Amino acid sequence: MSFKVLLLDNVDPVCAEVFQQRGIQADVPGKLTDEELFDRIGEYDGMVVRSGTTVTEELLKKADNLKVIGRAGVGVDNIDIPAATAKGVLVMNTPDGNTISTAEHTCGLILSMARNIPNAVAKVKSGGWDRKKYMGTEVHGKKLGIVGLGKIGSEVAKRMNVFGMEVLAFDPFSTHEHAQDLGVKLVELDELLGSVDFLTVHTPLTEKTKGMISMENADKLKKGIRLVNCARGGIFEEKDIPELLDKGYVADIALDVYSEEPPSEEVYEILKDERVVSTPHLGASTEEAQEKVAQQIADQMADALENKNYKGS
Ligand code: MLT
């Protein structure tokens, strides 16, 4: 009895190694067109994706042998879970392999905004020199707000505490004990928005978090706040960013994620603004994180395939 898995989205090579060590055939075909994927999916017992492949109900209809889908990462928003569940296909993710990398990227973006690093670097690279324009602000003594004090939010809190920031958080699922251990004060969302100098979000995109920052609630924000989103595109209303900046509600904004990736032309225009720091969804893009999530997902999927006593194809 042998299983076959399809590894997509440039998942780290350790993924294939783990499957092979466990006697599971792992195919790494490189980039497939939708048509090629639809043609091939029927052969596989498992598939591993990152964010590059959308697993739709149509694709699942062709996946006659599929038993498990593994997301080498956290977000499973690119997988139609109800359709997978209806078909009896297990969906797994790796909730903690990316934590440190994403937290570090968030801290990097906070410092990039505070010290104008991306614009200053671009200026020097173009042969320029402007010390006045790129005068920055210390983060020491400033307030950082964290929406979502889960794994990533907690790691951001630890790191920015060391920089001397006062850290506040909103998280209806967290406890005062957990917050206290981290040196964080839990507050209500409106209090957070109205009192912090920097705000970072670490939540999934849900009906509740979609458009959390928009012109509609701009009056709730502390004037001149700096914002970071390394979580999911859409938590900040993208089309409102120019107005939020131009009216001074927001001083700077750092984005690693977008509602569409790569972003639409309209959003690209917004990203050209000097007050916007943008990176192309790099939160989890470190060698360490990619290795961890690849290894974890392969182990979990191999366990599931073996323990469930599925009949191999
Ligand atoms: C995740 O959900 O794991 C991150 O956004 C990283 C990624 O998409 O690779």
- Torsions phi, psi for 222 (to 5 deg): -65, 130
Q: Which atom of ligand 1 is nearest to the CA of 293?
A: 3
* Residue of 50, 71, 78 to mutate, ligand 1, most atoms within 8 A of C-beta: 50
Ligand 1 centroid–CA 158 distance in Å is 21
Ligand 1 centroid–CA 75 distance in Å is 6
Residue 311, pLDDT above cutoff 60: no
Confidence of residue 191 (pLDDT cuts 50, 70, 90): very high
Of the listed 232, 237, 238, 275, which one is catalytic? Answer: 232
Domains and CATH numbers, the chain: 4-95+288-307 (3.40.50.720), 99-278 (3.40.50.720)
Q: Which atom of ligand 1 is nearest to the CA of 73?
A: 3
Q: Which atom of ligand 1 is nearest to the CA of 257?
A: 5
pLDDT in the model for residue 307: 86
On whether the CB atoms of residues 118 and 277 are closer than 8 A, the answer is yes
Of the listed 261, 266, 269, 274, which one is catalytic? Answer: 261
Question: Above pLDDT 90, what percent of the chain?
Answer: 97
Q: Is 82 exposed, middle or buried (0-12, 13-18, 19+ CB in 10 A)?
A: exposed
Ligand 1 centroid–CA 74 distance in Å is 6
* Mean pLDDT score, 162-185: 98
Say how far apart CA 64 and CA 38 lie, in whole Å. 11
pLDDT in the model for residue 309: 59
Residue 312, pLDDT above cutoff 60: no
In tens, the pLDDT along 212-250 reads: 999 999 999 999 999 999 999 999 999 999 999 999 999
Residue 51, pLDDT above cutoff 70: yes
Ligand 1 centroid–CA 50 distance in Å is 7
Ligand 1 centroid–CA 141 distance in Å is 31
In tens, the pLDDT along 54-106 reads: 999 999 999 999 999 999 999 999 999 999 999 999 999 999 999 999 999 99
Assess whether 155 carries a catalytic annotation: no
* Mean pLDDT score, 267-290: 98
Orientation angle between helical segments 14-21 and 287-307, nearest 10 degrees: 30
Residues with CB under 6 A from ligand 1: 50-51, 73-75, 98, 283-284
Residue 259, pLDDT above cutoff 80: yes
Residue nearest ligand 1's atom 5 by CA = 75
Question: Above pLDDT 70, what percent of the chain?
Answer: 98
Assess whether 232 carries a catalytic annotation: yes
Q: Which atom of ligand 1 is nearest to the CA of 75?
A: 2
